[in-house]
Chain A
C-alpha cells in the first residue's frame, strides 16, 4: 500500500553532535507516546472505523507518523 519519496519532509542539516538532545528526541520517535506507537495505533484503529472520512484520515496520519522514524 505504501510508496515513498526520496526526500525529507523538511530538509535538515545536523550542525553538531548533541547526545543529550538526541536522548529526548529518540523518545519522541520510539517512546511510549512516540510516533512509532501512534502510527501503529492509527493504522490498527482504521480497520474498525465506520466513517469513510475518518478511515481515510487514520490511514493518512498513520502513514505520516511513520515517516520520521524511518528517515531522520
Chain B
C-alpha cells in the first residue's frame, strides 16, 4: 500500500470511530468518557487530514482554495480507478 492510501485508510478508521461516537453521544450526551474519546479522535483527525491535504489535495470544499488555485475539482474523484491505486 502506498503512503497516500495508508493515510486514507487511517483517516477512514478514525472517522468511523468518530461517527460511531457521534451517534452514541446523541443518546448519551453526558458520558464524559465518550466525550473524551471523541475529542481525542477529533484531534487525531485534524492532524492526519491536514497532513493528507498538504500533499494530496483538499478533502472538503472549504479547504479547496489554498495557494491561489481552486484544487477541489482536480482528478481523481474517490470512485475513479486512479484513486484506488495501491488500495488492497
Residue ranges of A at the interface with B (Cβ–Cβ < 8 Å):
3-14, 53, 56-57, 60-61, 64, 71-72
Contacts and interface: CB of A to CB of B under 8 A. Distances in A.
Contacts of A10: 12, 16
Given A57-B27, A60-B23, A7 B12 contact: yes
B51 to A, nearest CB: 14
Closest 5 CB pairs of A and B: A13-B84, A13-B87, A57-B26, A8-B78, A11-B87
Given A7-B8, A14-B84, A60-B23, 18 more contacts: A3-B60, A4-B60, A5-B60, A6-B58, A6-B72, A8-B79, A9-B12, A9-B15, A9-B16, A11-B8, A11-B87, A13-B84, A13-B87, A53-B26, A53-B27, A57-B26, A71-B78, A72-B79
Contacts of B60: 3-6
Chain B: interface size category: 20 to 34
Contacts of B8: 7, 11
Nearest to A55: B26
Nearest to B15: A9
A8 B29 CA distance: 28
Contact of A3 (B5, B22, B29, B61): B61
